[in-house]
Amino acid sequence: MLDQEHSHMGHGPLQSSAPTPPPVDISQDVPMHLPTEETQARAPGPTRSTTMDVNARSEQVDVPETPSDLLDQGPCEVERDPEGGLWFFLIDAVEDDRASPPRVYLFGKVKVRSGSAEAYRSCCLVVEKLERCFHLLLKVEDPSDYESAKIAANAAAVELETLRKEKFQNLKVIRSKLKYRNYAFEKPLGQALGNLPFLKVVCEAAGSVPPVGLAGDNFTHSFGIQASLLERLLLTRRLMGPSWYRLHPDSFKEEPARLSHCATEFRITPASIQVPKTETEKTQWNSRMPASSPPLRVLSVSLQTFQQTAQLSHEVLAIGCSLHPTVSADASASESDLENSRRTWAAIRRLDANPFPRDADKALAAGGFHSYNNELALLNAFLLKVQEFDPDVIAGHNVFSVDLDVLSSRLHQLKVQNWHRLGRLRRSKDRVPRNEGRQAQGFWAGTSLAAGRLVCDTALQAKDLLPKLGCYDLANLAKEQLGSTDVKIVEPEAIAEYYDSARSLLNLLQLKTVDAYCIARIAHSLQILPLTRQLTCLAGNLWNGSLQNKRAERNELLLCHEFHSKKFVLPDKESLSQKKRRLQIEGGQGISAGFDEPDEPEAQATGSRKGKVAYSGGLVLEPQAGLYDDLVMLLDFNSLYPSIIQEYNICFTTVDRPDENEVAKMTSEAQLLSQTREPDGAEEGILPQVLRRLVDSRRVVKASMKSEKNPKILQMLEIRQKALKLTANSMYGCLGFQNSRFHAKPLAALITAKGREALQSTKTVVQQELQLEVVYGDTDSVFVNSKTADFQKAMHIAEQIKRAVNKRYRRLEIEIDAVFVRLMLLKKKKYAALKVVNWEKKLFEQELKGLDIVRRDWCGLAKEMGEAILTKILDPNMNKEESIEWVHQFLSEQAKKMDDGQVPLDKFVITKGLTKDPKDYPDAKKQPHVQVALRLLSRGKQVRPGQEIGYVVCDTTGEGEGKSLLAERARDPHEMELDPTLCLDMAWYKKHQVHPIIARILGVVEGTSRGRIAECLGMDAAIFAQVVQHEEGEGLDFLSQYMDADPNALFDRSLRYKNFSSILDGVKCKKCGGTTPWQRLLTPSTGEEPKQAPPFTCKDCQAQIQPGVARNQWHRQLRQLVKQHCEGWVQPADQVAGTEKTRRANKGDNLVSEQTVKKELQFAAHLCESAALLTAEEDAALQTALARMKKDADAWMKIGCQHFIDCGQMFGAIFGTPLLGTLHQ
């Protein structure tokens, strides 16, 4: 395992070879709470009973509510080991280098004994007597000449002292000495890299620091001048993440002046922290270390905010908390650690100056809730609660971007003195950290406001851990992850109503409480704390960094630890201004720095991705599109890039490459690659070593998982395995990351180049050695057509390929990933397949990659239709003709459901993410999701970058101008419910959602066509529009036509139609299924049996018929009418195609005569006119629907009967040959 090979990789319990921590003994950690202030939480969901073999102790979970709670306030004795050493579990660290003396605060937990009971308490170690350390590269002829290096070192020391007296007297040098160190990074030294002589200078942290670029007569470069105190502490004391660390006996003491809010506090120096010197020493201490991590106290929070006006910032209205005193930082197989001693706390304030409703205070108190007169009192109560509970973890949904942002803003605005009680650092003299107008202030505020505690954002983590989810709001997450529908979204409009009664206030607080509880459960179920802890222990960064998903930071610290321990001088961290300055200097000397313009502040993200592409990545083979019936094998290199790093020994120390200045001057990638040479027989580099260790550890973990039965340990191994994989895989990406301290473009480019080479040669091997066809491949995989339907044969071939490829490499390894019984290959990165799970049992599994149906920016209806069709097409038991037949029928049915309004609203929602603040979009007017986001903002909802915006597309015909931008027709689904005049644009959904998706899928399928698909879907609106436009040359304003209508003329016509009996079906009621004729629906008071009923009601059940639904059915039936007329002329398939003449000659035989059509259309138009006059003008919903219905009828009449036949052709060939030319002789 990892730790066996690398002693410095930490000594946390999870590195030990016996990963079996005893169960956390909950009864020893006594929760703090005041019974009067907290309510015993009731789980909203079904309580989970543990069926697994959870140790007996978790049964006695209910901690007796003894007065021992009081012990937490009283004195307690911190437990020491027999020698007097102190074990400390590290959680967070903060640096304050402007204090005097400069300090680092280490926050964590210690074991205490109060009376006879054992428990854990928060602890702050205040580290003083810190040192800085920098290295000066000595100017020597021959670096390997030790004697001359010694002389140079002395000279440099003298020179430094002279410089100090002249320029930086405050530098307090403690000692300096000649040291040989390695250097292998991108900053050029003007000499060969390798083991070089440096003057190592150690100085007091309190003093000032020399300027960054310091150089002199005896030294050419300086390193580490700006390194932070915390970083040095982490590296020198080898602090590898959240684990137990031992303080030497008598190396820590208490001071009366407290600097933290922690239960215990000690002053220490860096040397107090024990660092095992040897492997045996480490093993010894590991066996004495506390066997498991301490239980963590988690406070999850849900804020209800609200906005007085759109200009003002959000205020805090109510706060719900869920308190969990014994959450495990290792894996947990059940929720028992979450449920132990769980409490809730919730409070609300007045909305405005008005008092709470009658009896509200009493009712709230009875429910265990608190009420306050204003925001200040509410916030103070919350801070008090936080301090009292002293959480190790504050969890929330969007806690960075929303909660902490709002809190810091309000604490600042209201000048709350106790703001720092949110964290563990006493800072009564400081002001609330607040950076108005800066971005990502939530992140900054988070680290600053809650110093000493972990901040866990479930939204942030869910995006990473559940990447396939479309929407990450709390309600959806609770549904998907917990199966809970308890989370309800509070719409801004509804807030005031909650203040109407004591009961509704209670409801609001209960909602917030449930939110908070769900947040805790989600964090638990995603195993956020255990996973981030593992990642942190592997990299040796801060836990809070891992909780923010800062991969680059993780990788950076991993490499810092690694190179530091191998006696390397580390590359300096470059600030933004330093980097700019360097690029200017270097760019100015060179030839314009190649492609990089002297560009000014960020050439603002092209696409949603920032910056341009710096070098080429993976190779993607051209797919041979089609539907495959033979077995296709998928072979895939496992962990391609980590393997390549090992295979070719790619490292800073091994690859001969251009330095950063030379790289900046490169004009092409070919040039870069030609000057980058892979090593030849060199010693194994650091990167390959690290990766080998990670990969080997993972192999061990996976092996032990096979025999492990205990679910809790299994879970822990699974998490560890995952962390190892994530760490290995993030190495390559960080090499190519421009802002990384270890950025090395030549190495990154070399790795991908080797990847392309591997794929290309694999393809060649398959084609030439095995004479097989590679139908596709992406970066690390090949799809090989086996040209057989015999599974055993295919597997045999696959094994052959595997052997042929693998014999070419040491570390690279290709494996058989899958055998597909069906494969539909559409485009690069887009395919659907049926994977063989068990050939004998004929068990298959669908695999969908990249298709529209896996993307959230297509509506659910279109995706579901696409998936249903795809399933049929891929079905190996299905006859091809049959499945096509089925598809056509399915499409027609679905289209009818759409028209009949039988498809629920949520199936029409399209989701798109905001990549920036809505205000920052340059052309917001053209983007539907931005428009909707702005509408949400104006309703008082919070909208932030990264948020998903769901919208639907409405038909806005009749509202203002004829043409309207798509973006203007997009609406939040919730608005549909608020405004009944809104109506989904079915024609748009058919044309722009359903049709494209279906057409692309069926594009490689025989026996259908785009036109046929369109026909099944009943798409014709587009053609109407074209036809009408062509004839009229302008749009028609149907609404104004109504206004001008002559009532008398209308009356005449009413008489004319008195006995007219329409053959149109009428509207089908969604409720009872009964059909109401159009005349009865639109003008109930006319017709043969006049009724005094309101319009738009069902004749059978009197239910309201939605105008939008009626219109869609109307549209469909008129179209059906014309189609029937046309089909009267369509010749049977076996006859020779007729000419126009022969069809016209048969006119009289048509079942639906031209006369009938004309009469029906006239009647239809008449009905609309009459109905419009009978309807109040204010009823916008009805008027709009009627306008659209009349437009439908008029559109057909405009085309005219002599053209119906030509239209008939259109039905079958909407997307085929040009239409308009043939329409009018």
Partner RNA sequence: ACAGGAAGCGG
Q: Which residues bind DNA (CB under 7 A)?
A: 431, 433, 435, 438-441, 443-444, 549-553, 573, 575-576, 611, 613-618, 620, 729-730, 732-734, 736-739, 748, 752, 826-830, 852, 926, 965-967, 992, 996, 1000
Q: Where are the beta strands (DSSP E) in 806-927?
A: 814-827, 830-838, 843-849, 910-913
Q: How many other C-beta atoms are found inside a 10 Å radius of the C-beta of residue 912?
A: 18
Distances (CA, A) of 890 to 516, 883, 887, 1118: 44, 10, 5, 21
- Residue whose CB is less far from RNA, 752 or 1184: 752
- Residue whose CB is less far from DNA, 776 or 1196: 776
605 forms part of the interface with RNA (CB under 7 A): yes
For Mg ion, which stretch binds (CB under 5 A), given 584-592, 773-781, 1030-1038, 1167-1175?
773-781
Binder of residue 188, out of RNA, Mg ion, DNA, none (CB less than 5 to 8 A by kind): none
Residue 813 · residue 638 · CB < 8 Å: yes
Residue 187: what are its φ and ψ, rounded to 5°?
-70, 125
State the minimum distance, in angstroms, from the CB of residue 862 to DNA.
Answer: 10
Residues 459-488 that bind RNA (CB under 7 A): 467-468
The DSSP annotation for 349-378 comes to E-SSSSPPPTTHHHHHHHTT-EEESSHHHH
Strand order in the sheet with 910-913: 910-913, 948-953, 970-971
**Rounded to the nearest 10 degrees, how much is the dihedral formed by the CA atoms of 1192, 1197, 1202, 1203?**
-30
C-alpha angle 314/319/320, rounded to 5°? Answer: 140
Measured distance CA(1016)–CA(1116) in Å, rounded: 12
State the minimum distance, in angstroms, from the CB of residue 832 to DNA.
Answer: 13
Tokens (6 digits) for 40? 């015993």
Report the SS3 class of residue 906.
Answer: helix
1111 forms part of the interface with RNA (CB under 7 A): no
- Residue whose CB is less far from DNA, 32 or 531: 531
996 forms part of the interface with RNA (CB under 7 A): no
- Residue whose CB is less far from Mg ion, 54 or 634: 634
Interface with Mg ion (CB under 5 A), residue total 3
Measured distance CA(628)–CA(824) in Å, rounded: 6
- Residue whose CB is less far from RNA, 141 or 923: 923
Measured distance CA(43)–CA(47) in Å, rounded: 7
Residues sharing a CB contact under 8 Å with residue 655, sequence separation 6 or more, in sequence order: 676, 677, 678, 679, 685, 746, 747, 750
The DSSP annotation for 670-739 comes to HHHHHT-B--SSPPP-HHHHHHHHHHHHHHHHHHHHHH---HHHHHHHHHHHHHHHHHHHHHHHHHT-TT
Residues 613-642 that bind Mg ion (CB under 5 A): 636
Measured distance CA(878)–CA(487) in Å, rounded: 43
Report the SS3 class of residue 259.
Answer: coil
643 forms part of the interface with Mg ion (CB under 5 A): no
Tokens (6 digits) for 1068? 């089908």
Measured distance CA(183)–CA(735) in Å, rounded: 17
Report the SS3 class of residue 837.
Answer: strand
549 forms part of the interface with RNA (CB under 7 A): no
- Residue whose CB is less far from RNA, 521 or 856: 856
- Residue whose CB is less far from DNA, 529 or 759: 759
- Residue whose CB is less far from Mg ion, 528 or 640: 640
Report the SS3 class of residue 774.
Answer: strand
Binder of residue 143, out of Mg ion, DNA, RNA, none (CB less than 5 to 8 A by kind): none
- Residue whose CB is less far from Mg ion, 581 or 849: 849
State the minimum distance, in angstroms, from the CB of residue 847 to Mg ion.
Answer: 12
Q: Which of 265, 390, 778, 1015 binds RNA (CB under 7 A)?
A: 778
Measured distance CA(183)–CA(195) in Å, rounded: 7
Residue 794 · residue 823 · CB < 8 Å: no
Binder of residue 253, out of DNA, Mg ion, RNA, none (CB less than 5 to 8 A by kind): none
- Residue whose CB is less far from RNA, 587 or 918: 918
* CB-nearest residue to Mg ion: 781
State the minimum distance, in angstroms, from the CB of residue 781 to Mg ion.
Answer: 4
722 forms part of the interface with RNA (CB under 7 A): no
State the minimum distance, in angstroms, from the CB of residue 541 to DNA.
Answer: 10
- Residue whose CB is less far from DNA, 120 or 444: 444
For RNA, which stretch binds (CB under 7 A), given 4-12, 118-126, 264-272, 846-854?
846-854
Residues 1062-1091 that bind RNA (CB under 7 A): none
In our burial notation (b when 16+ CB lie closer than 10 A, e otherwise), range 718-741 reads bbbbbbbbbbbbbbbebbbbeebb
Distance of CA 174 to the CA centre of its chain: 49
For RNA, which stretch binds (CB under 7 A), given 23-31, 134-142, 854-862, 1096-1104?
854-862
- Residue whose CB is less far from RNA, 510 or 752: 752
- Residue whose CB is less far from DNA, 154 or 729: 729
Distances (CA, A) of 523 to 329, 532, 624: 11, 11, 44
332 forms part of the interface with RNA (CB under 7 A): no
State the minimum distance, in angstroms, from the CB of residue 855 to RNA.
Answer: 4
Q: Which of 780, 948, 1020, 1169 binds Mg ion (CB under 5 A)?
A: 780
State the minimum distance, in angstroms, from the CB of residue 811 to Mg ion.
Answer: 14
Q: Which of 374, 575, 606, 1104 binds RNA (CB under 7 A)?
A: 606
- Residue whose CB is less far from RNA, 951 or 1057: 951
State the minimum distance, in angstroms, from the CB of residue 818 to RNA.
Answer: 11
Distances (CA, A) of 563 to 8, 15, 29, 235, 687: 12, 20, 40, 10, 10
Q: How many other C-beta atoms are found inside a 10 Å radius of the C-beta of residue 963?
A: 7
For RNA, which stretch binds (CB under 7 A), given 5-13, 553-561, 842-850, 1113-1121?
842-850
- Residue whose CB is less far from Mg ion, 29 or 636: 636
276 forms part of the interface with RNA (CB under 7 A): no
Distances (CA, A) of 896 to 261, 861, 1115: 66, 13, 11
- Residue whose CB is less far from RNA, 970 or 1219: 970
Residues 897-956 that bind RNA (CB under 7 A): 911-916, 921-923, 926-927, 929, 948
State the minimum distance, in angstroms, from the CB of residue 712 to Mg ion.
Answer: 30
State the minimum distance, in angstroms, from the CB of residue 821 to RNA.
Answer: 18
**Rounded to the nearest 10 degrees, how much is the dihedral formed by the CA atoms of 141, 143, 146, 147?**
10
Measured distance CA(1110)–CA(1078) in Å, rounded: 9
Measured distance CA(270)–CA(768) in Å, rounded: 63
Binder of residue 736, out of RNA, Mg ion, DNA, none (CB less than 5 to 8 A by kind): DNA
45 forms part of the interface with RNA (CB under 7 A): no
Q: Which of 302, 326, 409, 781 binds Mg ion (CB under 5 A)?
A: 781
- Residue whose CB is less far from RNA, 781 or 1062: 781
Measured distance CA(725)–CA(728) in Å, rounded: 5
101 preceded by cis ω (within 30°)?
A: yes
Binder of residue 929, out of Mg ion, DNA, RNA, none (CB less than 5 to 8 A by kind): RNA
Q: Which of 617, 679, 711, 1212 binds RNA (CB under 7 A)?
A: 617
Report the SS3 class of residue 126.
Answer: strand
Residue 660 · residue 693 · CB < 8 Å: no
State the minimum distance, in angstroms, from the CB of residue 655 to Mg ion.
Answer: 23
Q: Which residues bind Mg ion (CB under 5 A)?
A: 636, 780-781
Q: Which residues bind RNA (CB under 7 A)?
A: 467-468, 605-609, 617-618, 636, 640, 778-781, 829-830, 848-850, 854-857, 911-916, 921-923, 926-927, 929, 948
